[in-house]
Chains A and B, each alone.
Chain A
Amino acid sequence: MAFPTLFRSLDAVARALPFHLNETDKVNRAFRRWRRTDAAQALYVVDLWTYCFVRRYFLVKFSRDPACGGAADLEELIEQVYARVQEHRSTVADTTRYASWVSVVCKNAFLNYLRSLTPTVSIDQENGPQLRAEAPEATLDAGLVYEGLRQAVARLPGYLRQIARLRLLEACSYRDIERITGRDLPTIRSYVNRAIVKIRSDPQLLAFLGRS
């Protein structure tokens, strides 16, 4: 009655990866090894992962955003972004967060692409001011950010973790958290506040924001 979906093109490359595309700790390790030792095998793994990640990122974005162009735009964007990553990755400061860095490169490139598509509207035929339509938004790789936040919550002190997960990951209301945990509202708010203060300085999440 229902059939799985398989995309032969990306899948053919992803099969050469020795791990799942979302196992970013492994590509981060490979990247560190490459930067340290210039090992050919490490570079091969990094290149495989990078290509697959970039391709998947833009496949997802192009499929869900009707403003995007067709396959030709997609292929060109993939090539541009891959070339940019290849050119600048030797300058990545934090070699433990290569995957996050690539995700930010993809996001910024997609944002620039969307801006290039955004039409301008003239309110006057002659010499009128140009109004740009509402600024587009680009997001990071959904799985990467999800994993990043999960790990950031897991790094919190034990007494904060459950409430942080309920509020920050599952977006539960304070009332729901009160019901689930049995704690009073002031305590819950206090815990959420502490969790946010800690998570806002989490290196992984800062990397997603392009900050160190």
Chain B
Amino acid sequence: MVERENHPSFLELDRFVLGAHRSASTQDHLQTCEQCASYVERITADRPVPEWVTNLRDDEPWGELDSPVTRMMAWRSRRRRRRRGRRVTEELAQRKNRGWEPSAAGGWMPESLETRELGPFAGWKWMGSFAGAAAVVGLVVLLAITPAHQEEAGRDGITAKGTPAVGVYVKRDGRVSLWDGRARVLAGDTLRLKVVPVDFSHITVLSRQDDSDAATLGRLHEAPVTPGQETVLSVAWRVDAQPGSEEIVVVLSHEPLHRDLTLTLAKIHARSRESQNLWSTRLVLMKGTASEE
């Protein structure tokens, strides 16, 4: 690689900065090379912390997920592991010696030997990987997934192939389940959205305070999402104890919605109809009480 032939790699410089690997040769190089020294200065400069970072502060690791789909996936994962047999055992031994653990989702990832999960839900480490902060807002809940503008999604959020979809995970008493489209949610439940964005790259989650289509929607969360990849949002919401129902609107777009844009349900519907650059769905939450369960 001609350009950096006489320089340490960026990985080595990053590790030097973090203190992971401080070689004397890298230290000497930084004293004489303006280019590398400038890079180190740039990545160690102080930067203000944006709001989306502080929202990650409180997180609740999402553990076991109980549903027929996850149980099937876990069984398949166990069957696959049995079939690999001796070859995997030997390969595992080699990789463990190098400090690497196999990822149940495929490929190899660094895993702590102490915290590696074994058991029926090892195949769902990705739930933990998407665990971010539980931003307790006291709002939101998902119930009926009713796309705002055309064909109605199934009660569990499954739509036609190629259409975005939104699903809900409900955490109650330490157990996580996929909402079935019918159950009421209770005060204290924690909810997290799973999104299939198709080719959209940005999600905005809004709250709706009254029935009017002209009422301004409040912004709960917005973040980029990876197109074509199922994503569990990094924030969660806790259901409050107020009776009645709550609504949220999930908007998928190709670009972030302008911060100064005042959003109403009517405006979102209009923009969804006008172009393919916006997709939205309205989620209605019906609250129940523990005595109804």
A and B pair up:
no
